[in-house]
Structure 1
Amino acid sequence: MSHTVRYRVSLPRPHTHLVEVEVSFPGGAATLDARMPVWTPGSYLVREFARHVQDVSAVAPDGTPLLVRRMDKQTWRVHAGGQAVTLRYRVYANELTVRTSHVDGTHAYLNGASVFLYTDATRDAEHHVTVEAPAGWSTFCALDSRDGAFIAPDYDTLVDSPIEVGPHTPLTFTVAGVPHDIVVWGDSVADPERLCADFQRLCEVQARLFGGLPMRRYLFLLYLTDKGRGGLEHQASTALLFPRAALATNRGWEDLLTLAAHEYFHLWVVKRVKPRTLVPFDYTQENYTSLLWAFEGTTAYYDNLIVRRSGLMSAPRYLTRLGETLTTLQSTPGRRTQTLLDASMVSWVKHYRPDENSPNSAISYYLKGEVVSALLDLEIRRATRDDRGLDDVLRLLWSRHGDGTGVDEEGVEAAASEVAGTDLKAFFDRALRTTEELDYSVFSHVGLEASFRTRESPGDRGGTPPKGRTGEAKPRGWLGITLKGSATVASVLDGSPAQEAGLYAEDDVVALDGWKADGNALVSRCEDRKPGDTVRVTVFRRDKLLEVPVVLGTKPSEAVWLARVDKPTEAQKAAYQSWLGAPWDEAPGAT
């Protein structure tokens, strides 16, 4: 008797957003429990994929109907009597994100965790998938294929191999002898040759970093939309969601490259070198680890660095982007409330479920993890006189844990101390286990220092020096809110004048001091006033008109940029070049 699990997927009416699935499980057990995962690896949120499953039925090998009983939110039980069982069901797929599935008249994106039922008994068996595509459509997947079916050695690999179906023509290139395809949905890219060339350079740099590629083929699935941005890594592929309009700008193209570099980096970090507590995945509930700061934060540090190393971003531009990251961190009050380890542990209820209080109560393990990884890289470089860096930590972890067995919760810290040749416990204790401000003084090793100024406009991202004349800037009034849309308060920052005065999230701004003003005008006009001035803010709150007097505070200096130190030494100049692969005369303000 075959122990293979076989799926047949069809899309007879794409406009209904329904996927029809038939799966045949081998016999053996008296009772078969088929389950749908509640989450997908790489996205740490319980998404309850079973809510989109409908019309479940079961038959025996001779076609006799079998009773299917719903046991809980994700489990269907069939009394099989030891015989093989074929389940038929449909999945509603109308959510266009990289973590879900989406089917319409133009294509089908199938994320395995949201489509394929599994059983614990057959999870390690070979899984075959046959896709019946509509006329004129092709099917794309990184899995091997045989006799018209995609072949996965087990369920985990199947879930980690998204499927795209549509009338697409792939773009192709090769890296280290490995074929790579790019499949684009949602309008073509204006310059496909540039897209292939730039992606190829990103992949080549990473292949050299780790000494080769760990797969036989790779598939980029690029979804161009009107809004939204994100990526999800897989064993030999990735799904990228990106706003198409942004590709027309240099910054937008740069942002696409960092996204692609980030997800490709996960081939090694996350997909193969992973936290031990996630081995094996438990698809029925949350899987906890305190290491997301390292696996996602370090990847966030490298995504810009890879683009820089590929020659697709200048060293000054890289430092500007790093300064923007520092600015975002310094602008988030939650850094004083939540430790980085806690941010990793509670990602299931915090990171993917932000609310109006999130800026005050939480910090992103991507954001702070990126900054900590940059500082760690420089700490190791300083300790080893630039003989080693974070690259060496990653290669050490790859050599020891690249087989997928997992890294224990202290493993990253131990590997970093081993590479540095010194105990980095004090660094990690401060960065990971406390809410103390991070120590930016290590930037001096590469001849740089973190400088602070106030934001000069609502759109000021930081990363660059103040404009205009230098010297003492006039103190600016500060309200302490963030906005959504043009007039609605999104968040009231902890300890701000707005919080003290009683402005609330969801207040709709109407006027300032009796004069019509939306939220953006409110912020800019308050900044034109002096700290200590009282302003009258008029808002609608739950349809009731209110006037709230606010005593303005002093606008904080939270915009950060990285400037060169005065009188850099030759050692600092050499360290800078070792770090960024650029001569010192390309450093910001260097002469």
Structure 2
Amino acid sequence: MKEAVHYRVSMSRPHSHLFEVEARFPPGQDVLDAVLPVWTPGSYLVREYARHLQDVTATGPAGEALPVQRVDKRTFRVKAGGQAVTVRYRVYANELTVRTSHLDGSHGYFNGATLFLYTEATRHREHRVTVEAPEGWRTFCALERQGEAFTAPDYDELVDSPFEIGPHTPLSFTAAGVPHEVVIWGDTVPDAERLTTDLQRICEAQARLFNGLPMQRYLFLVYLTDKGRGGLEHKNSTALLFPRAGLQSLRGWEDFLTLATHEYFHLWNIKRIKPRAFVPFDYSQENYTTLLWAFEGMTSYYDNLFVRRAGLMSAQRYLTRLGETFTLLHGTPGRHTQTLAEASLLSWIKHYRPDENSHNSAISYYLKGEVVCVLLDLEIRRATDNLKGLDDVLRLLWKRYGDGSGMPEEGMEAAVQEVTGKDFTSFFDAAVRSTGELDYSVLSHVGLQVEYRVRESANDKGGTPPPRKNGEVKPRGWLGLTTKGNATLATVLEDSPAMEAGLSPEDELVALDGYKVDAANLLNRCEDKRPGETVRLTVFRRDKLMDIPVVLGQKPADAVYLSRVDKLTDAQKAAFQSWLGATWDETLG
């Protein structure tokens, strides 16, 4: 067996935010190029991790100093002469996200892509990591442990296994016969027993779909903070960032469960069934695929669905959340500009790098991908008289590509055709390769229809019917912009009155019709006026004071909710129950 690559990670001064790393590469290379990834799988943005490396030195087998030449932004070259080389360096880690690394007096967390230099010559060898933790701290990682070292069969699995080090006491449960651990940093959860019980139910619901779990153990790393929400999937673990205050409410708890469900579902969908474009990963640059909508959008569809299947969300609540998702999509003008396939392909420069025009020029492959997968599931059910669904497509993909060989770009479409025996080209042309509006008519298969109403406020997420009001509801004035902070324009929507008038992102609000205004009351004051009225908005653009007249439009009905069709048939009732596992008697009144 070929000699392994060895790493030693220490943190002698946690408050310095510096991990101290020692990487020992076995003999065999005349010139050793030690490189660091520029991105990490699951987060499709070049993050330039090497910018945080410092104090890089190298020594030979007898401890003799070897010169290190920095060749480019990520490459450190050592003339090894065929001998073993040890590279020592420090990594600054003060970014608490699931995609990066963080070290302070309370804990240490790192993704391998941010910390571990590697060589292409030894990439497929075993990699071993020993962690020297401060006294009283423990090390948690999903990798197999042999003595003091965590072992990975290759570099890919190493960087797909984040580490958490700290004075933590983990929670544990067993799902589908597999042990699971939950390690929490930042605070204690209000109900630990409820947390493990709910997670267990969700994990077992997913295991039933695939007839078992694909790993020997699983690790949830949970980071409770003052703000922020996100997750990153890994082959046998996940890291979840969530606002601690959110766990105090029913809606916040539900949101945490959907986040955990999403990342857990990636065990199959992208960690094992993955785009062929990712085989093998190229850590030096972007890896392009048009399929992220299928891997992330479909996972977003299933995250709510599995909370529902686990009995932790009512069918009515599921439909409300679905309406909120539809509302988000219809409030994004970029759906008319960017296709779902293009959104996937350009995630590297669009989704993870939003700006003030992103709302007008781009669409999230998570968001539209979720809606498309709802419609696709129902189209499959309608085409097969409810004998098949998207579940069957997933099981076929798991059987065919679950070995990690990679799904070709046409693989999703081909699998749908194989499961249904029918040609779905027109569906994919319209939903994935077009910027046209989606066709929601298939919702009638389960007795549903899409309806629209005007949002009641800036915080109105849609998903619910309009409130009952006495008397005629007058049309509301509309600017067509969003704000940020106390007095700044964030986004000016395409074809809106604000855009036609010449308002611009970053304009600083001063007054409306000569009276002081801020972000909190600007939109409300405009809505009190009638469409067609002209208002005078005073703003600072950079340091110049400007008066801009705006002819108000009519506030659009872009809040979406789902309602029951008239004259519901027995077939629609049966299809609905097959889909959501609930009867109509307990849903939508």
Do they superpose with TM above 0.5? yes
Output the amino acid matched with 1:190. P
Q: Is 2:2–2:125's contact at 8 Å kept on the other side of the alignment?
A: no
User: Within the alignment, does 1:49 sit opposite 2:56 as a pair?
Assistant: no
In structure 1, what is the equivalent of residue 576 of structure 2? 576
Q: How does 1:256-405 map to 2 (within 5 A)?
A: 256-405=256-405
Output the amino acid matched with 2:440. Y
Q: How does 1:127-146 map to 2 (within 5 A)?
A: 127-146=127-146
Output the amino acid matched with 2:181. D
C-alpha displacement at 1:469, in angstroms? 3.3
Output the amino acid matched with 2:311. G
C-alpha displacement at 1:2, in angstroms? 5.0
Partner deviation per Cα, 1:517-557 (whole Å, 9 max, x = no partner): 11231111111111100001111221322211100011111
RMSD, aligned CA: 1.0
**In 1, distance between residues paired with 2:576 and 2:471?**
28
Output the amino acid matched with 1:7. Y
Q: How does 1:506-545 map to 2 (within 5 A)?
A: 506-545=506-545
In structure 2, what is the equivalent of residue 494 of structure 1? 494
**In 2, distance between residues paired with 1:319 and 1:104?**
42
In structure 2, what is the equivalent of residue 469 of structure 1? 469
Q: Is 1:5–1:122's contact at 8 Å kept on the other side of the alignment?
A: yes
C-alpha displacement at 1:408, in angstroms? 0.3
Between 563-572 and 518-527, the greater mean CA deviation after superposition: 518-527
Q: Is 2:539–2:545's contact at 8 Å kept on the other side of the alignment?
A: yes
Output the amino acid matched with 1:555. K
In structure 1, what is the equivalent of residue 33 of structure 2? 33
**In 1, distance between residues paired with 2:436 and 2:89?**
52
Between 513-522 and 236-245, the greater mean CA deviation after superposition: 513-522
**In 2, distance between residues paired with 1:223 and 1:544?**
44
**In 2, distance between residues paired with 1:429 and 1:245?**
43
Output the amino acid matched with 2:87. L
**In 1, distance between residues paired with 2:306 and 2:471?**
36
Q: Is 1:202–1:261's contact at 8 Å kept on the other side of the alignment?
A: yes
Match of 2:174, SS state, is: strand
Partner deviation per Cα, 1:78-137 (whole Å, 9 max, x = no partner): 000000100000000000000000000000001100000000000000000000000000
Q: How does 1:70-85 map to 2 (within 5 A)?
A: 70-85=70-85
**In 1, distance between residues paired with 2:174 and 2:194?**
15
| Inter-CA distance 316–471: structure 2 relative to 1 (3 Å threshold) | farther
C-alpha displacement at 1:471, in angstroms? 8.9
The runs of 5 or more residues in structure 2 that have no matched partner are: none
Match of 1:99, SS state, is: coil
Partner deviation per Cα, 1:488-539 (whole Å, 9 max, x = no partner): 1110000000001011101121221112211231111111111100001111
**In 2, distance between residues paired with 1:252 and 1:196?**
16
| Inter-CA distance 45–470: structure 2 relative to 1 (3 Å threshold) | farther
TM-score (norm 1): 0.99
C-alpha displacement at 1:419, in angstroms? 1.3
Q: How does 1:432-443 map to 2 (within 5 A)?
A: 432-443=432-443
Output the amino acid matched with 1:517. V
User: Within the alignment, does 1:124 sit opposite 2:124 as a pair?
Assistant: yes
In structure 2, what is the equivalent of residue 66 of structure 1? 66
In structure 2, what is the equivalent of residue 560 of structure 1? 560
Match of 2:571, SS state, is: helix
**In 2, distance between residues paired with 1:485 and 1:193?**
39
Q: Is 2:144–2:152's contact at 8 Å kept on the other side of the alignment?
A: yes
Match of 2:121, SS state, is: coil
C-alpha displacement at 1:483, in angstroms? 1.2
In structure 2, what is the equivalent of residue 100 of structure 1? 100
Partner deviation per Cα, 1:296-333 (whole Å, 9 max, x = no partner): 00000000001011111100000000000000000000
Output the amino acid matched with 1:379. E
Q: Is 1:19–1:93's contact at 8 Å kept on the other side of the alignment?
A: yes
Partner deviation per Cα, 1:451-502 (whole Å, 9 max, x = no partner): 0111111110000000023897422111000111232111000000000101
In structure 2, what is the equivalent of residue 24 of structure 1? 24
Between 519-528 and 564-573, the greater mean CA deviation after superposition: 519-528
Q: Is 1:501–1:551's contact at 8 Å kept on the other side of the alignment?
A: yes
| Inter-CA distance 378–470: structure 2 relative to 1 (3 Å threshold) | farther
Output the amino acid matched with 2:41. P
Match of 2:262, SS state, is: helix
The runs of 5 or more residues in structure 1 that have no matched partner are: none
Paired-residue identity, %: 71
**In 2, distance between residues paired with 1:538 and 1:243?**
37
In structure 1, what is the equivalent of residue 153 of structure 2? 153
**In 2, distance between residues paired with 1:251 and 1:413?**
35
Output the amino acid matched with 1:383. A
Match of 1:169, SS state, is: coil
**In 2, distance between residues paired with 1:55 and 1:452?**
59
Q: Is 2:487–2:508's contact at 8 Å kept on the other side of the alignment?
A: yes
Match of 1:117, SS state, is: coil
C-alpha displacement at 1:64, in angstroms? 0.6
Partner deviation per Cα, 1:365-406 (whole Å, 9 max, x = no partner): 000000000000000011111111000000000011000000
In structure 2, what is the equivalent of residue 182 of structure 1? 182
Q: Is 1:360–1:493's contact at 8 Å kept on the other side of the alignment?
A: yes
C-alpha displacement at 1:190, in angstroms? 1.1
In structure 1, what is the equivalent of residue 196 of structure 2? 196
TM-score (norm 2): 0.99
In structure 1, what is the equivalent of residue 418 of structure 2? 418
